[in-house]
Structure 1
């Protein structure tokens, strides 16, 4: 892919569907201009991508959309989270900022230097982060206007073994971790996910979910759930090919989409 390729895409679903499958961390692509400041050589960067990328989650969402009775919308990041992480808020998440993993990462998964700590994040925020946030906000607003509600299902994966960057990795690591928000995750949404995926845990090793700031903590019509899938259940770690588990998980995600759409 060239640098002219889109940095994110909104892929249409059924007009009346309230569901947006949000896939923020599936890509490996780093445009040449965004590579400036990264101190890793090519081999080390590829190793880091193997660990940090939520591999095959865009394909998972695509398969689930094809299986669902009511096609969900999909908002897919086409750039690596090493460019910007669209799920960080630049003025929040002090804990992650301290770990070098704010909106623009300065540390790797093993806490080595990715970019110098004094790197100015503003060029990357202006070029990539803010347009992404605006587009996601507009996508949610459109679902509210058309469907009367919006349900963001954040599609992620996580490694079977704890990586050094994880701040709360000492807890359970279930096959599927469901991240929740006290305001935006209604009990019915959590119950539907548990029914769809079977063996799940809640808020361990990762918690929370993504809602654009315009709606966060303000609009109860926006529901959200993070689905974190343990990578050994569907792929070869780290960064290897997908296996047959991907199809099973796509069916489960489609079942959740259909339950929510009803």
Structure 2
């Protein structure tokens, strides 16, 4: 990726699909200009990327797209969340600021220094965060214009064992955690997800991670935009941390495709 290239990509699906598979944390790349201010050496940084990357979730989304009867759209981040985390609030509302992990992280998963605590986040927000948020909002607007609704399926994974940065990691860690929003996750979407992932194992609700991503211009105001976060426990499909995928990936892609088909209707 060159400095002139966007740090994300929107991969078109079928014109009549309302579904956007959002893949924000699958990438490992940290561009050279984004490394400025990071205090970890190369080996420590590699380990941190292993812990934080939702490895192979882009592959899960791609295989699900190929299996779906009506291909969904895919919005995929191309840089590591250690550059910016596009799913954080970029202001004081962000709960993860307590762990030094707002939109621009200053601490690691093990709560060591990543950047200086007084790091100015503005250059990274301007270069990466705001263009991403704008483009994702436009992708949702296009689905609304084309189909009258938009369904964001937020594709994540999480470690089998709790990491120190987790603020609410003392609860259940099921094979599939479904993160919901009181306004944007209707009961029918949640029921469809439980049915689609039943063959993977237990599906939990909002533990160890809660909530889901909706562009701020729609958040809490537009009921035409529905959303669900799908957090897959990593031991169901890969070697941790940061290792290769196993046969579980195909089963998960098939389950996600079933969910896409169910909500596409």
Q: Same fold (TM over 0.5)?
A: yes
Q: 1:167 to 1:128 in 2, by over 3 A?
A: same
TM-score in terms of structure 1 length: 0.98
Corresponding position of 2:231? 228
Contact 1:34 1:124 (8 Å CA) reproduced:
yes
Contact 2:68 2:261 (8 Å CA) reproduced:
yes
In structure 2, how many angstroms separate the alpha carbons of the residues matched to 1:130 and 1:6?
Answer: 11
In structure 2, how many angstroms separate the alpha carbons of the residues matched to 1:98 and 1:175?
Answer: 27
Per the TM alignment, residue 94 of structure 1 is displaced from its structure 2 partner at its CA by 3.6
Corresponding position of 1:191? 191
In structure 2, how many angstroms separate the alpha carbons of the residues matched to 1:77 and 1:212?
Answer: 15
Structure 2: unaligned runs, 5 residues or longer: none
1:207 corresponds to which of 194, 204, 210: 210
Structure 1: unaligned runs, 5 residues or longer: none
Name segments (4+ residues, structure 1) moved above 6 Å: none
After the TM superposition, which residues 1-80 of structure 1 pair with which residues of structure 2 at under 5 Å, given as runs? 1-80=1-80
Contact 1:175 1:230 (8 Å CA) reproduced:
yes
Corresponding position of 1:253? 256
Give RMSD over aligned pairs: 0.9
In structure 2, how many angstroms separate the alpha carbons of the residues matched to 1:152 and 1:33?
Answer: 31
Per the TM alignment, residue 22 of structure 1 is displaced from its structure 2 partner at its CA by 0.1
Aligned length: 262
Corresponding position of 2:219? 216
In structure 2, how many angstroms separate the alpha carbons of the residues matched to 1:248 and 1:94?
Answer: 34
Q: Secondary structure at the match of 2:64?
A: helix
Q: Provide, for residues 196-238 of structure 1, a one-character-per-residue CA deviation record: whole Å limited to 9, x for no partner.
A: 0012000000000000000000000000000000000000000
Per the TM alignment, residue 4 of structure 1 is displaced from its structure 2 partner at its CA by 5.0
Q: Secondary structure at the match of 1:114?
A: coil
Per the TM alignment, residue 3 of structure 1 is displaced from its structure 2 partner at its CA by 4.5
Q: 1:143 to 1:129 in 2, by over 3 A?
A: same
Q: Secondary structure at the match of 1:181?
A: coil
Corresponding position of 1:242? 245
Contact 1:68 1:255 (8 Å CA) reproduced:
yes
In structure 2, how many angstroms separate the alpha carbons of the residues matched to 1:62 and 1:242?
Answer: 14
TM-score in terms of structure 2 length: 0.97
Q: Secondary structure at the match of 1:192?
A: helix
In structure 2, how many angstroms separate the alpha carbons of the residues matched to 1:57 and 1:37?
Answer: 28
After the TM superposition, which residues 129-148 of structure 1 pair with which residues of structure 2 at under 5 Å, given as runs? 129-148=129-148
In structure 2, how many angstroms separate the alpha carbons of the residues matched to 1:157 and 1:57?
Answer: 7
After the TM superposition, which residues 93-112 of structure 1 pair with which residues of structure 2 at under 5 Å, given as runs? 93-112=93-112
In structure 1, how many angstroms separate the alpha carbons of the residues matched to 2:70 and 2:241?
Answer: 33
After the TM superposition, which residues 114-153 of structure 1 pair with which residues of structure 2 at under 5 Å, given as runs? 114-153=114-153
